[in-house]
């Protein structure tokens, strides 16, 4: 099955990354395509914007820590065809741990991070 990945990123804050991501994901889903929004921002604003509790678990933290499979962490949203993998949950300390783990996984092919992203060449 063919899929398309869109990444919305900018180092500057307040430029509309979350708003853009949520609205683009909703539009793609409403057009009839199965859509997954992965919220990697520790503030979890896309998660909350989709009506998902910030403290929902399992979420991205548990997936990156190898404590849960991504398929078990994905949840439905009020938008038909749009599912989400919620961001890091809990206290500021756990969100910091999640961010640290994400950065490490984004720069390695460690087997403990294999659920976070495909290895090079895939």
pLDDT in tens, 62-115: 888 888 999 999 999 999 999 999 987 655 665 666 666 666 665 655 545 544
Residue pointed to by tokens 């500057």 = 12
Number of structural domains (the chain) is 1
For residue 59, give its domain range: 17-113
Evaluate whether residue 72 is within a structural domain.
Answer: yes
Model pTM above 0.75: no
| CATH code of residue 22 | 3.40.50.300
Task: Give the integer Cα–Cα distance in Å for 40 and 61.
Answer: 9
Question: What is the DSSP secondary structure assignment for residue 86, as one 8-state letter?
Answer: -
- Per-residue pLDDT tens over the stretch 12-49: 989 999 999 999 999 999 999 999 999 988 888 999 99
Q: What is the mean pLDDT of the chain?
A: 81
Evaluate whether residue 7 is within a structural domain.
Answer: no
Strands (E), the chain: 35-38, 74-76, 82-85
Half-sphere exposure of 51 (CA within 13 A, CB side): 8
């Amino acid at each position: 099955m063919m899929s398309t990945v869109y990444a919305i990123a900018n180092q500057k804050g307040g430029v509309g990354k979350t708003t853009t991501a949520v609205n683009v994901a909703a539009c793609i889903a409403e057009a009839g395509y199965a859509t997954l929004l992965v919220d990697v921002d520790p503030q979890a604003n896309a998660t909350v914007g989709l009506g998902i509790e910030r403290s929902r678990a399992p979420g991205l933290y548990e997936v990156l820590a190898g404590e849960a499979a991504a398929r078990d962490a994905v949840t439905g949203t009020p938008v038909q065809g749009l599912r989400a993998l919620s961001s890091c949950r809990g206290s500021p300390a756990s969100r910091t741990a999640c961010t640290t783990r994400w950065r490490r996984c984004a720069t390695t092919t460690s087997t403990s991070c294999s659920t976070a992203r495909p290895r090079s060449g895939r």
